[in-house]
Chains A and B, each alone.
Chain A
Amino acid sequence: MTGTPPLTRRGLLGLGAGLALSPALAGCLPGDTPRDRADASRVVIGLSAAVTTLDPMNTTSVGTDLSVLSSVHSSLVTRGPDLTIGPDAATSWRRVAPTRWRFHLHPRAAFADGTPLDADVVVWNVRRLLDAANALRMTSNFPGLTRAEKVDRRTVDLVTSRPDADLLGALSFLYLLEPRWAARHKPATEAMGSGPYAITDYSPGGTIELRARDDYWGPAPAIRRVTFRVTPSEAARVSGLLSGELDAVAGLDPQDLNRLRADRGLRIQRLDTTRMAFIKLNTLKGPMRDVRVRRAVNYAVDKRAITSSLLKNTVAPSPGQLMTASYSGYTEGLTGYPHDPDRARALLREAGYGRGRPLRLELTVPSGQYVAGELVVQAVAQQLRETGVSVKINSVPFAVYMQKYLQQKAMPDMQYITQAWPTLAAGGLYGLFVSSSPYAYWDDEEFTDAVTRARGTDDRTERDALYARAARRARDQAPVLFLFPQPGLYATAEGLTWRARPDDWVRPAEMSWKGATR
């Protein structure tokens, strides 16, 4: 044989037939017709992880488990897209004593089986939550709550051990179960609630289908049918959006921003999440005990270069803060460490590091856990190297990372992490940095004192002043390398109205199709 023989007529014919057949084949099989919005009351939402339990008190995962469960259950109060606390099963509430809150329940609030949602239900749920024998994961969000007391059928008091300004925020996480139903069913795998939707299909870790309840006592949601589809891979979420199979996805990677933006059928929203990214410095051992070294690494890193190139300008660098502006108790007016490599080098020299005694640091990052985490860490390491610091990066699975995180001896000099506190209270997040916290890696009397006093006071002005002192102390002492808020990138199909939220909730009841009538 010499050369390649030309394709024959028959070969071409076969090729053509094959090509012609494939669309016909695809057409005659049932399937989702992409971009077909025939059913304007339906929405398909892509979740980044599987829903692991249907028990609302045994999970703290907002973006997945709780987002689904918030559609099925109701809570006393709820946090709206603007982060303010509003009514849900409770129509009004007030503080009747420093440690006692009174809630008036909606007169028609009821479960799907017709049982009224009354004071007894609330009392039972609080008892279930606080009973240590139940070992529920939500319990740790309610450090101050001691009990609930029935006042009358539709009125209930919640009692705390000390004045607790964060109670309302925490209560927006307490979804109420029906006591008699819970006794006869398994709340981990079954659900019957008093919320706007009912679950019609669920398998552990699989797709979840919801249908709006016709007998719901609150305002009827515009979206009547909801599918939560589990799409753990970022690529699958992006292709699902581009092909029109998914209508709404939260928590996308900024690396995909341009690709998503190029699609005219999609609407992109971005905002700062309530999660702050930083590199935690182990101030309890090694070179990071010296505040000059901690400040030097803060000066050495060009945060703006990282947010503009790796994060595509979806966020701005943090102004030297441990939390984002969404928190109650946030302090305005701080400024971050500017990028100043000369000053970094000078500080390092002052601390005794230089050519003869180079500074060697170890930096750990959990792989695949945080948006762009590994890329950010490489950029940070590169910039530190430019100031003469040698950095060794360890990329470890999240599980291994968490083991180290718990043992102060095992934690290296630097550790990439993002932190948020679900109730959006400064006291909660700062609590991770006080001396007694095993996660602090920082033993600072002034900071701890300010936070402890702020948490104990009831006076708003005094509390904010104390939190401001704590914030400035943290900025000054630099227990972390300040970075930026984790970007929140949301994509929705054109025509779907949904206000993205900084706190990870994905609630179908907050969505509607433009021009859809019900």
Chain B
Amino acid sequence: MIRFLVRRLALTVLAVWGALSAVFCLLHSSGDPAVMMAPVGSPPEKVAQLSHALGYDRPLAEQYASFFGDALRGHFPDSLTFQQPAMDVVLQRLGATVLLASVALAGAAAAALLIGVWTGSREGGGARREWPMWLVFLTQSVPGFYIGVLLVWVFGVELAWLPTSGATTATSVLLPAVTLACGVLPPLARVFRDNLRGELARPYSRTGTALGMSRARVVRHAAYGSMLPTVTVLGLEAGALLGGTVIVESVFSWPGVGQLAITALQNQDYPLVLADLTFLIIAFVVVNLVVDLLYGVLDPRVRHQGGQSR
């Protein structure tokens, strides 16, 4: 178990470093942020001065080294636009994104379980049983931003039931969370449904039924059996969800880290982009690590074999 953990952690660090290096290089290839910061009409000397003061005229390798040196010590330079430590700005926005992502993930998981059991626990049944799956296919086929705009139109403008922008009231989270959940739900529901069917076809389910177990109990046992692949997908989707927040937060003006990333990129606020993405990358990797560790809880085999089966 310890060896498993150490190996996973080492891989995690490697992944974070690789991703951040890629971001750093892409970012710096887009030019000098001093140009965006200097007021319109500034002579080039002024821009060069500013660039020098901020250290953007140093060799790229030197900037790279100092960025990672600082980041390792948990220090991030001040955001160019907000004029305060970049990580502070990110952390101030964190709560909103965590709230949105957890509501979306919990909603998607609950919906996937319901739909999976409803459509997967019985063979056949036709449209009467299958219609939630059609809905799932529909949400998978339509891009998230379009679903968002559609929801805004129906529930915000036409029916005027729900707020469409900002995080002002308790109901504000509903539309963005549903939009975000729509992207996560399809794979979850399908994997769970298919695995549930598979488990129900296995000898232990048949035996249970033969011994007179109620259908509900048989389905419950089969559902436990289908958890492992579902949790894998859930973990992967939780990562994708973080990426999805960038779009959904923009559509709904949700004041989270995703929207912040867009603002920072538009302003060429390098320190803020790097802090924001460092955070998102670490969150992504940690979620995946947690999922890997969850296997151990859900599947005793992983625990006992020390993770060598994979």
Contact indicator per residue, chain B 143-175, by CB within 8 Å of chain A (1) or not (0): 000000100110011011111111111111000
Contacts of B32 in A (CB 8 A): 403
Shortest Cβ gap from A21 to chain B (Å)? 12
Chain B residues whose C-beta falls within 8 Å of the C-beta of A11 in the assembled complex: 128, 131
8 Å CB interface, A234-260 against B: 235-236, 239-240, 242-246
Instruction: State the CA gap A23–B162 with chains docked (Å).
Output: 10
Residue B226, interface by CB 8 Å? no
- Contact check, A243 vs B160: say whether CB atoms are below 8 A apart: yes
**Distance (whole angstroms) from the CB of A164 to the closest CB of chain B:** 16
Task: Identify the A interface with B (CB < 8 A).
Answer: 1, 4-5, 7-8, 11, 22-23, 26, 29-32, 34-35, 46, 49-50, 52-53, 55, 58, 60, 135, 137, 140-141, 186, 188-189, 203-207, 229-233, 235-236, 239-240, 242-246, 397-400, 402-403, 406, 419, 428, 431-432, 437-439
CB of A239 within 8 A of CB of B164, answer: yes
Q: Which of A49, A141, A188 contacts B82 (CB 8 A)?
A: A188
- A32 with B255: in contact, given A50-B263, A205-B93 (CB under 8 Å)? no
Task: Say yes or no for B102: interface residue by CB 8 A criterion.
Answer: no
Residue of A nearest to B41 (CB): A432
Closest CB of chain B to A298's CB: distance in Å?
24
State whether A232 touches B160 (Cβ < 8 A): no
Residues of chain B with a CB closer than 8 A to A46's CB: 165
- Which residues of the other chain, A, contact B263 by a CB distance below 8 angstroms? 49-50, 205, 232
Q: Tell me if B164 and A7 are in contact (CB < 8 A).
A: no
Contact call A135/B169, Cβ cutoff below 8 A: no
Q: Is the CB of A31 within 8 A of B162?
A: yes
Minimum Cβ distance to chain B for residue A32 (Å): 5
Taken together as a complex, chains A and B put the C-alpha atoms of A364 and B33 apart, in Å, by 20
Selected from A26, A204, A439, the residue in CB contact (under 8 A) with B171 is A26
The yes or no answer to B39 lying at the interface (CB within 8 A) is yes
Query: When A30-B170, A53-B81 are in contact, do A240 and B165 touch as well, CB less than 8 Å?
Result: yes
Compute the total of residue contacts between A and B using a CB distance below 8 Å.
168
Contact of B89 among A141, A204, A239 (CB under 8 A): A204
Indicate if the CB atoms of B166 and A231 lie closer than 8 Å.
yes
Assuming A1-B126, A7-B128, A233-B250, is B164 touching A207 (CB within 8 A)?
A: no
Alpha-carbon gap, A58 to B38, bound state (A): 11
Instruction: Using CB atoms and an 8 Å cutoff, list the residues of chain B in contact with chain A.
Output: 30-33, 35-37, 39-44, 47, 50, 53, 79, 81-84, 89, 92-93, 124, 126-128, 131, 149, 152-153, 156-157, 159-172, 250-253, 255, 259-260, 262-263, 266-268
**B53 in contact with A135 (CB, 8 Å):** yes
State the Cβ distance, A34 to closest chain B Cβ, in Å. 4
The secondary-structure label for the interface of chain A is loop
B259–A399 touching, CB < 8 Å: no
When distances are taken between beta carbons in the complex, the residues of chain B under 8 Å from A30 are 169-171
| B252 x A403 contact (CB < 8 A) | no
The CA of A376 and the CA of B129, in the complex, are separated in Å by: 52
**If A53-B83, A240-B164 touch, does A5 touch B41 (CB 8 Å cutoff)?**
no
Q: Are B41 and A140 in contact (CB under 8 A)?
A: yes
A contact residues around B131 at 8 Å (CB): 11
* B-chain residues with CB within 8 Å of residue A203 when the two chains form the complex: 92-93, 255
Closest 8 interchain pairs by CB?
Answer: A403-B31, A188-B83, A26-B161, A399-B268, A52-B81, A231-B253, A31-B171, A34-B160
Chain A residues closer than 8 Å to B171, beta-carbon distance: 26, 29-31
Complex CA–CA separation, A186 to B85 (angstroms)? 13
Residues of A within 8 A of B165 (CB): 46, 229, 231, 236, 239-240, 245-246
Taking a contact as CB atoms under 8 Å apart, the answer to whether B93 and A206 are in contact is yes
Contact (Cβ within 8 A) B253 A229: yes
Contacts A34-B160, A239-B157; A431 near B128 (Cβ below 8 A) = no
- B163 contacts A32, CB within 8 Å? yes
Let me know if A236 and B255 touch, CB within 8 A: no
What are the residues of chain B within 8 A of A186 when measuring CB–CB?
Answer: 84
B152 touches A239 (CB 8 A): yes
- Which residues of chain B come closer than 8 Å to A400, judged between CB atoms? 30-31
Q: Is the CB of A245 within 8 A of B163?
A: yes
A5, A32, A428: which contacts B169 (Cβ < 8 A)?
Answer: A32
Q: List 30 A-B contacts (CB under 8 A).
A: A5-B128, A7-B127, A11-B128, A31-B172, A50-B263, A58-B83, A140-B42, A203-B93, A206-B93, A207-B167, A207-B255, A229-B166, A231-B253, A232-B253, A232-B262, A233-B250, A233-B251, A240-B164, A240-B165, A243-B163, A245-B165, A397-B30, A398-B36, A399-B30, A399-B268, A400-B31, A402-B31, A403-B32, A406-B47, A431-B41
Across the interface, A233 reaches (CB within 8 A) one of B40, B84, B253, namely B253
